[in-house]
Amino acid sequence: MSEAEDPSVAPSAGRTLTQLAALNVDVLKGVAEKKAAALASWDVHTVLDLLWCYPRRYIDRTRQADLKDLALGDEAVILATVASVSQRRMKNKRVMVELTVDDGTGVMRVVFFNQAWRVRQLSVGTEALFFGKLDAYRGERQMANPIVDVLVGMEGRVQGTAKTGRIIPVYPQSSKVGLTSWEIGTFVGEALRRTVTFAEPLDERVLNDLDLLDRTSAMQGIHNPETLEETVPARRRLAFDELLRLQLALVMQRRLLERDARGILHQVDVGEALSAESIAPTLVEQFIAGLSFALTDAQRRVISEIFTDLGAPLPMHRLLQGDVGSGKTVVAVATMVAAVQGGFQGALMAPTEVLAEQHAFGIRSLIEGLEIRDEGRLEGSRPVSLALLTSSTPAAERAVIVQGLADGSVDIVIGTHALLTDSVVFQALGVAIVDEQHRFGVEQRAALKEKGRSVDGEREDPDLLVMTATPIPRTAAMVVFGDLEMSVLDELPPGRTPITTRWAQSELEETEVWGRVRDEVGDGHQVYVVCPLVEGSQRVQARSATEEADRLREVELAGLRVGLLHGQMKSQEKEHVMTSFRDGNLDVLVATTVIEVGVDVPNATVMVIEDAGRFGMAQLHQLRGRVGRGAAQSYCYLLGEATTEDAQRRLTAMEETTDGFVLAEIDLELRGEGTILGSRQKGRSDLSLAKLSSDKDLLIAARALAEQLTDGDPVLANNPLLADELRTTLNDEDAAFLFKG
Ligand code: ADP
Ligand code: MG
């Protein structure tokens, strides 16, 4: 092997991530078979994997807490040695592990419940950090269930690598696989020493402009800081790298699609479509003029953003963000009508049957009276036609709709996943809209788009509009929907009275809530009651909802007309119940979360959410958005205690604000990126340092740089080092897509 080919020899320009990813961790001294296996079970296989395990925190030896100085109630990190360990079974069969630990200044008791494995992890003599709150148990000082980081285990004592610095990095090692933080630190230290320098993918100028450390200093600074202050710019640089890789992947994906795409030039005129009067109004103008309300400024602005895209040669890829009740549906319909006016079709896909039905019902009345030209008819025109297609559409009806979509006699179709089946073919799909995108995967978005028309075997891509159910923070949107342009409806239609939200925790308060419900019904208003979430199948959920409805009918809401809606009902039954409620023939609708999205009954003024602590923030906000749709004062009552601290914060936040954008930010802080990014992110260069809630500026800078680097260079031909890095760190599928050919 020549020197240039041997990846263990650093080239003068520094080691690339690709080279580090090609080295197995067992090249490191001390990583023999057993340790390598332990690392592997923790998903660390290569030297790069190891270097990307960042410390969870640092201990500054000069400022470490001493047990003797701690007061009861203090939260602290104690570095101590295990002096004794025992376990016993308690009355309730749970195992309790009990330790005495000694830090040289004092001793305390440490107890763990239901964590029998701690006995093995924390054998006598083990040195570890215990992070928790000091309290007292029968007069003895103790910590219960603290976070533990083992620094030096009894067997794992590493020779000759005594840490002399003041700052000790603590790695989030998985103790269950038998590695101590100390060992990981030692391996990382060796990897850094032997790497010497890291190849730098960013220009000197970019580093200066963005005030970023070079990568070599950043790696040193995060793993081996001399002072705590050093870790800050180090983390910043490495977080930037994570965000940049992610943004590059997204921006490149968009640029490649654009390069290969041919869009439809829709017949729209941005200004004209929104002007008040015209002599020969277009279909869009007729639609807007026919609305029973004036569009909000935000709706006008967003519609013109969309129409600009529709009239442009590239297919639209746009995300529409708007709070619950901001009027996204009208925007969606205007977009579809714009397609129809040029002879194309529009499709809207919703995540549930209830929502699709609701949309079909509402949109049918919105487009009532709209006529399009049809030379084949005596009248010279025909009404714009709308169809609803779900998996419970009867076969005969379905056949008619499928035929109508294929021959163009159906202009607008509303549906569920059923739209994606192979037999559904469009004559000329011009606009595809996906509502409540969080319920759909990227694949389904793409699949709907694929339904685009085929003219003489040549494809033109339909324009795509994706709508969110509730706002997501801008930073999260830039990551999850980073390949889409964004429009924001940041204004609610006028005349809404803000919803009053109260969290009723005690039984007394709950009784008051049911009293309010009866009062509101007495005033002619209607009420939703959302049943507690229960674990288990749809069937289990349905049974519990049924029981709850029966109970309410007999006790709290006796004498009122109470209906029931859940996911196990046949769609005809569901429709029947919804219609009764809408028509005012029911006072109260007891429902599972099937009513979460889209249901629109302006006369409903009370939303009661039982056991609210179990619902997520977006869900709570979305449910609350079912009321407050008319002029009357509306109320949202959250019932039940919070079982976790997060639940407590969610419910308090709900009481404090009705602004979905604010709630989304709080939710991001509470949940972190993981759950929000979900499967979209899986396999993509993960965010381990970057925090979407606090690294907003960094993300925006990464986005801008990604745009700039790929401008005119969609596969990063001028930045081979970065391209190489992306290829290594993206999952295979994404990499294959970006770098094909
Ligand atoms: P969401 O954005 O949550 O999907 P919808 O599209 O369901 O909201 O609209 C909520 C309600 O507001 C509907 O009843 C709709 O008819 C009404 N609405 C929409 N735009 C306006 C407007 N500009 N003025 C008054 N009411 C409006
Ligand atoms: Mg909606």
Query: Residue 272 CB: number of other CB atoms within 10 A?
Result: 13
Q: Is 570 within a domain? A: yes
Residue 612 has what pLDDT? 95
Q: Is 551 within a domain? A: yes
- Three-state secondary-structure class, residue 17: helix
- 143 and 192 both lie in a single domain: no
In testing the pocket of ligand 1, which one of 293, 367, 487, 659 has its CB within 8 Å of the most ligand atoms?
293
| CATH number of the domain residue 101 falls in | 2.40.50.140
Full strand arrangement of the beta sheet holding 463-467:
386-389, 412-415, 345-349, 429-434, 463-467, 317-322, 485-489
Q: Are 547 and 523 in contact (CB under 8 A)?
A: no
* Distance between CA atoms of residues 48 and 350, nearest Å: 42
Q: Is 325 in the pocket of ligand 1 (CB under 6 A)?
A: yes
- 90 and 34 both lie in a single domain: no
Q: What is the pTM of this model?
A: 0.74
Q: Is 258 in the pocket of ligand 1 (CB under 6 A)?
A: no
* Distance between CA atoms of residues 246 and 54, nearest Å: 19
Q: Which ligand is nearest to the CA of 322?
A: 1
Both structure tokens of 164: 């002399």
- 339 and 426 both lie in a single domain: yes
CA of 497 to the centre of ligand 2 (A): 19
For the CA of 495, the closest atom of ligand 1 is: 25
Beta bridge partners of 381: 373
Q: Average model confidence (pLDDT) for the chain?
A: 86
Angle at CA 718, nearest 5°, toward 712 and 722? 110
In testing the pocket of ligand 1, which one of 466, 600, 621 has its CB within 8 Å of the most ligand atoms?
600
Q: Is 195 in the pocket of ligand 1 (CB under 6 A)?
A: no
CA of 295 to the centre of ligand 1 (A): 9
CA of 636 to the centre of ligand 1 (A): 19
Both structure tokens of 715: 């596969």
95 or 460: whose pLDDT is higher? 95
Look at residue 439 and tell me whether its pLDDT is greater than 60.
Answer: no
Q: Which ligand is nearest to the CA of 490?
A: 1
Please identify, among 608, 637, 657, the residue that sits at the C-terminal boundary of a domain: 657
Residue 733 has what pLDDT? 65
pLDDT class for 129, splitting at 50, 70, 90? confident
What are the phi and psi torsion angles at 411 (to 5°)?
Answer: -90, -40
Q: Is 613 in the pocket of ligand 1 (CB under 6 A)?
A: no
CA of 623 to the centre of ligand 1 (A): 15
Residue 270 has what pLDDT? 64
- 181 and 283 both lie in a single domain: no
In testing the pocket of ligand 1, which one of 291, 301, 329, 597 has its CB within 8 Å of the most ligand atoms?
329
Q: Is 506 within a domain? A: yes
Q: Is 720 within a domain? A: no
Read off the pLDDT of each residue in 591-610 and give the average, rounded to a whole number: 83
Q: Is 296 in the pocket of ligand 1 (CB under 6 A)?
A: yes
- CB burial of residue 730 (10 Å; 0-12, 13-18, 19+): buried
154-167: buried (b, 16+ CB within 10 Å) or exposed (e) per residue? eebebeeeebeebb
Count of domains forming the chain:
4
Q: What is the pLDDT of residues 451-497, one digit of tens each?
A: 775 545 566 788 999 998 888 888 888 877 877 889 999 999 988 88
Identify residues whose C-beta is under 5 A from ligand 2, the ion: 598
Q: What is the pLDDT of residues 10-25, one digit of tens each?
A: 445 899 999 999 999 9
pLDDT class for 62, splitting at 50, 70, 90? low
Q: Is 384 in the pocket of ligand 1 (CB under 6 A)?
A: no
Ligand 1, atom 12, residue with closest C-alpha: 327
Residue 535 has what pLDDT? 78
For the CA of 295, the closest atom of ligand 1 is: 23
Query: Picking from 158-162, 394-398, 672-676, which range would have the lowest pLDDT averaged per residue?
Result: 158-162
Ligand 1, atom 26, residue with closest C-alpha: 493
- 475 and 622 both lie in a single domain: no
Residue 480 has what pLDDT? 76
| CATH number of the domain residue 623 falls in | 3.40.50.300
Q: Is 493 in the pocket of ligand 1 (CB under 6 A)?
A: yes
Both structure tokens of 18: 């690709």
505 or 163: whose pLDDT is higher? 505
Q: Is 622 in the pocket of ligand 1 (CB under 6 A)?
A: no
Both structure tokens of 314: 């590239």
pLDDT class for 153, splitting at 50, 70, 90? low
Q: What is the pLDDT of residues 649-685, one digit of tens each?
A: 999 999 999 999 999 989 888 877 665 555 444 344 4
Look at residue 355 and tell me whether its pLDDT is greater than 90.
Answer: no
Of 57-66, 432-441, 470-479, 583-592, which one has max mean pLDDT?
Answer: 583-592
Q: Is 326 in the pocket of ligand 1 (CB under 6 A)?
A: yes
Q: Is 330 in the pocket of ligand 1 (CB under 6 A)?
A: yes
Q: Is 679 within a domain? A: no
The number of CA neighbours under 13 Å toward the Cβ of 673 is 22
Per-position DSSP letters for 224-272, written without gaps between them: S-SSGGGHHHHHHHHHHHHHHHHHHHHHHHHHHHHHH--B------HHH
Read off the pLDDT of each residue in 563-584 and give the average, rounded to a whole number: 88
- 400 and 377 both lie in a single domain: yes
- 123 and 183 both lie in a single domain: no
**Domain range spanning residue 306?**
261-489
158: left (phi over 0), alpha (psi -120 to 50) or beta: beta
| Dihedral sign, Cα of residue 428, residue 431, residue 436, residue 442 | positive
Ligand 1, atom 1, residue with closest C-alpha: 325
For the CA of 332, the closest atom of ligand 1 is: 6
Ligand 1, atom 19, residue with closest C-alpha: 327
Query: Quick one: the chain helix, strand, coil %, rounded to 5?
Result: 45, 20, 40
Q: Are 354 and 572 in contact (CB under 8 A)?
A: no
For the CA of 331, the closest atom of ligand 1 is: 6
What is the share, in percent, of the chain residues with pLDDT greater than 90?
A: 49
Residue 489 has what pLDDT? 94
Q: Is 362 in the pocket of ligand 1 (CB under 6 A)?
A: no
* Distance between CA atoms of residues 54 and 181, nearest Å: 11
CA of 448 to the centre of ligand 2 (A): 19
Residue 737 has what pLDDT? 66
* Distance between CA atoms of residues 384 and 388, nearest Å: 14
Full strand arrangement of the beta sheet holding 588-591:
500-504, 635-639, 604-609, 526-530, 588-591, 562-565
pLDDT class for 6, splitting at 50, 70, 90? very low
Look at residue 277 and tell me whether its pLDDT is greater than 80.
Answer: no
Q: Is 629 in the pocket of ligand 1 (CB under 6 A)?
A: yes
* Distance between CA atoms of residues 267 and 594, nearest Å: 38
What are the phi and psi torsion angles at 319 (to 5°)?
Answer: -105, 130
Query: Picking from 139-153, 238-252, 573-587, which range would have the lowest pLDDT averaged per residue?
Result: 139-153
- 481 and 601 both lie in a single domain: no
- 471 and 597 both lie in a single domain: no
Please identify, among 468, 489, 510, the residue that sits at the C-terminal boundary of a domain: 489
Residue 128 has what pLDDT? 85
Q: Is 703 within a domain? A: no
| DSSP H helices in 429-506 | 442-450, 474-480
Residue 676 has what pLDDT? 56
- 73 and 41 both lie in a single domain: no
For the CA of 602, the closest atom of ligand 1 is: 14
Query: Picking from 99-103, 268-272, 281-285, 396-400, which range would have the lowest pLDDT averaged per residue?
Result: 268-272
Q: Which amino acid is at 446?
A: A
Look at residue 331 and tell me whether its pLDDT is greater than 50.
Answer: yes
Residue 4 has what pLDDT? 44
| Dihedral sign, Cα of residue 430, residue 436, residue 438, residue 441 | negative
Please identify, among 657, 681, 703, the residue that sits at the C-terminal boundary of a domain: 657
List CB contacts of 621: < 8 A, sequence separation 6 or more. 324, 470, 654, 660, 663
Q: Is 214 within a domain? A: no
Ligand 1, atom 5, residue with closest C-alpha: 327
Strands (E), 270-350: 317-322, 345-349
Q: Is 597 in the pocket of ligand 1 (CB under 6 A)?
A: no
Q: What is the pLDDT of residues 334-348, one digit of tens each?
A: 999 999 998 999 999
* Distance between CA atoms of residues 513 and 531, nearest Å: 15
- 377 and 455 both lie in a single domain: yes
Q: Is 416 in the pocket of ligand 1 (CB under 6 A)?
A: no
Best CA proximity match to 684, nearest among 740, 729, 722, 736: 729
Full strand arrangement of the beta sheet holding 95-102:
135-137, 140-144, 107-113, 95-102, 75-89, 127-133, 147-152
Q: Is 327 in the pocket of ligand 1 (CB under 6 A)?
A: yes
pLDDT class for 291, splitting at 50, 70, 90? very high
Q: Is 427 within a domain? A: yes
- 291 and 336 both lie in a single domain: yes
Strands 454-455 and 458-459: antiparallel
